Structure 1
Amino acid sequence: MQQSQPPEPPPQLEPFQQSAALSLGVELELQLVNTHDYDLAPYSDEMLRLMAKIPLPGSVVPEMTSSMIEISTGVCHSSNEVLGQLAQIRDALVRCADKLNIACVGGGTHPFQQWHEQRIYDRPRFRQLSELYGYLSKQFTIFGQHVHVGCPDADSALLMLHRMSRYIPHFIALSASSPFVQGQDTQFDSARLNSVFAFPMSGRAPFTLHWEEFAKWFAKSTRTGVVKSMKDFYWDIRPKPEYGTIEIRVFDTPLTVERAAALSGFVQSLASWFLNDQPFVPQEDDYMVYTYNRFQACRFGLEAVYVEPATGEHLPLREHIALTLEQIAPHAQALGAAGSIDMLRRSAEVARNDSRWLRETNAREQLLAEMVRQAAERFRGRG
């Protein structure tokens, strides 16, 4: 008679590593398109082979489908350093893409690709996700920017996470670049996040301000067998204990590395304000308006309505962005991020984000492929 094997112990939450407070790391998921009709092109293997020969900061890795590629910076200490690293990687990407007669493009969605034509990249984790999530895996051919910010300790990370949650609509509206899906204008500024919400482990982190309590919650979750690690959570913001950071995941990939760096400067300046001024203590009740504010920002971008969680006041999101940028201006100045804040302030003042640029370009050209071509020119630093 065969003896039964003892059950495997549930995974343990990794200890929260030390990192430099307010340090930054940025990841960008990018589109690879052919230069014939500007549809997605499955060239990630070829790009990775060429990029591996070039000494660069950070890393370049595959993503879920083979028409995507992810670049990331190393640990940075300012948005200017982020920009320097992203620009260096961008320039190498452009050179490699030119050799393959393809182009790299920003934006949160490709405007007319057909999800069923995409190929899952051949990696064990991607194959497992494809088996679990079925067609959703191919529909996950969407492109986001993730910003990591260093936290001094685990409890500070949870406090930072829940404070940042009030500013999720600001991040969405300022980065929105996904108005088109499957050849149609969705009427959303960020349609990308609708795809993320289809996954069962999306949404927001549980409300706790102490790492010990969070570890207990994680242990309960892993005992169910539904999740095995923090990677299984697709939350808008999640702790990354192995890096000593929190990771903000709601940004669409911008059309330019300059805007990507500016958004990291916004995050860093907010984090400095939180750490140094302790402007408010987050509450579970903050999340009563969370989903509404998130939807407004996805749907209307910089023309959204924002409900202030503490007071319930309704005001234009653009006004709250302007107020926030004013509050954090001294911190931005001290961090060398004043230029980043100015770029975002001007954007909010005229309600102009990348989604608006894409719509205006398509209205002028009347051809989505030409819009993608011009977006590729913007990514490479032209136009």
Structure 2
Amino acid sequence: MTHDLNQSPKVDSGAADRLREFAASRALTLGVELELQLVNTHHYDMTPYAPDMLALLKNAKVPGSIVPEVTSSMIEISTGICEDAEDAYGQLSVTRDALVKAADRLNIALAGGGTHPFQQWHQQRIYDKPRFKELTALYGYLTKQFTVFGQHVHLGCPDADAALLMLHRLSRYIPHFIALSASSPFVQGQDTAFDSARLNSVFAFPLSGRAPFVLHWEDFERYFDKMRATGVIHSMKDFYWDIRPKPEFGTVEVRVFDTPLSIARAAQLAAYVQALGAWFLNDSPFVPVEDDYLVYTYNRFQACRFGLDGTYVDPASSEQFSLREHILLTLQRIAGHVPAADREALQELRHIVSREGNDAGWLRACYADVQQLPEVVRQATLKFSGRV
């Protein structure tokens, strides 16, 4: 396929140019996706082994899926439908173990983290898939710079209007999700001074950020049709919003998490989303309004830049909190809505906020100790594999 570099190519989303009907799902069910790094075990830079991994894992009996991502040094795994975060952890464990076994055969390793600390974007190869090539034609170097790694959490919703209400309620807690999951302090060999530098790469895309404020599916359909009529988008995949509806799954998809360094942390983050959702459904603590978004970008920046040490401005009261304080207050408020199986996971999150700190802090502490970024990556691969 060739493109005139002076013309804007059309990206074929791989789906029909229409908004899919919202498929109702059971409220508060979960799904988790993780984008992972493939690294060479000699120098711990990224390595383009995704095709080899996928070939080895073609017939693997795993509960979800294992698929390629935009560059060949990445891979994405997902769970099936999960009842709770304990279920998600169990499913991710099975897939993680299959991945590690395959990686050992190829003499490579896998790591979490929102960015690879020292890979050079221009060295990455686009995975041989039509959509990825078309994205490259449209976005140029941004596509290779999109060699960043996130966790997505899907939360089941019984109908389309319930999904939009859930989306806008969860949007107040985007800074929590960013700060708790932040694991991308290093980019291109440098400490960025951000806890989550990954989201700076995402924010470069024109259809990133927040979703439009609509609370009824008919209004969302009208918005989608207007956007489609402009030729800018062709399916929901073309929106890179922090949270977006996923009509074919019957979910809302939270997309701001950095990939954690361990699947245990991934499950804890999913537990937090589920508990928030249960609180919203059972107590209806607030009705979202457009003014919730007045401080949205500011709060988002604070969480990316300073992590748990950032400032959170409550959009309803304009009161300022530390993010640590607001997360702990929220964990206290939702305590009665946590499934018994997930109470330990939420307790671990409380420990992270109070004492341990997020994965960005772990990576910086590791670097302060060893002074070599390849060794930091090696330690991260051990953490992901569960061998330490």
Both structures adopt the same fold (TM-score exceeding 0.5): yes
Q: Is 1:326–2:332 an aligned residue pair? A: yes
Contact 1:318–1:351 (Cα < 8 Å) also in 2: no
CA drift of 1:335 comes to 5.1
Contact 1:25–1:75 (Cα < 8 Å) also in 2: yes
CA drift of 1:340 comes to 1.2
SS in 2 for 1:336: helix
CA drift of 1:13 comes to 1.1
- Which amino acid letter does the alignment assign opposite residue 168 of structure 2? H
- Which amino acid letter does the alignment assign opposite residue 181 of structure 2? S
- Aligned CA distance change for structure 1 residues 282 and 351 (closer, same or farther; 3 Å): farther
RMSD over equivalenced CA pairs, Å: 0.8
Q: Is 1:136–2:142 an aligned residue pair? A: yes
Contact 1:145–1:252 (Cα < 8 Å) also in 2: yes
TM-score (norm 2): 0.95
1: CA distance, partners of 2:285 / 2:58 = 45
Match of 1:70 in 2: 76
Contact 1:78–1:335 (Cα < 8 Å) also in 2: no
**Partner of residue 269 from structure 2, selected from 239, 248, 263:** 263
Q: Is 1:315–2:321 an aligned residue pair? A: yes
**Number of residues paired by the alignment?**
373
Match of 2:348 in 1: 343
Q: Is 1:381–2:386 an aligned residue pair? A: yes
Q: Is 1:90–2:93 an aligned residue pair? A: no
SS in 2 for 1:107: coil
Q: Is 1:364–2:369 an aligned residue pair? A: yes
Q: Which contiguous aligned blocks of 4+ residues in structure 1 show a shift greater than 3 angstroms?
A: none
Contact 1:303–1:351 (Cα < 8 Å) also in 2: no
CA drift of 1:52 comes to 1.4
**Partner of residue 220 from structure 1, selected from 183, 208, 226:** 226
Q: Is 1:285–2:291 an aligned residue pair? A: yes
CA drift of 1:53 comes to 2.5
31-40 vs 351-360, which moves further:
351-360
- Which amino acid letter does the alignment assign opposite residue 158 of structure 1? L
SS in 2 for 1:289: helix
Q: Is 1:99–2:96 an aligned residue pair? A: no
Match of 1:7 in 2: none
**Partner of residue 156 from structure 2, selected from 125, 132, 150:** 150
SS in 1 for 2:288: coil
**Partner of residue 255 from structure 2, selected from 224, 249, 259:** 249
2: CA distance, partners of 1:131 / 1:293 = 33
CA drift of 1:315 comes to 1.0
Q: What fraction of aligned residue pairs are identical, expressed as a percent?
A: 66
SS in 1 for 2:62: coil
Q: Is 1:109–2:110 an aligned residue pair? A: no
Match of 2:41 in 1: 35
Contact 1:293–1:306 (Cα < 8 Å) also in 2: yes
CA drift of 1:351 comes to 5.8
CA drift of 1:12 comes to 2.1
343-352 vs 287-296, which moves further:
343-352
1: CA distance, partners of 2:174 / 2:141 = 28
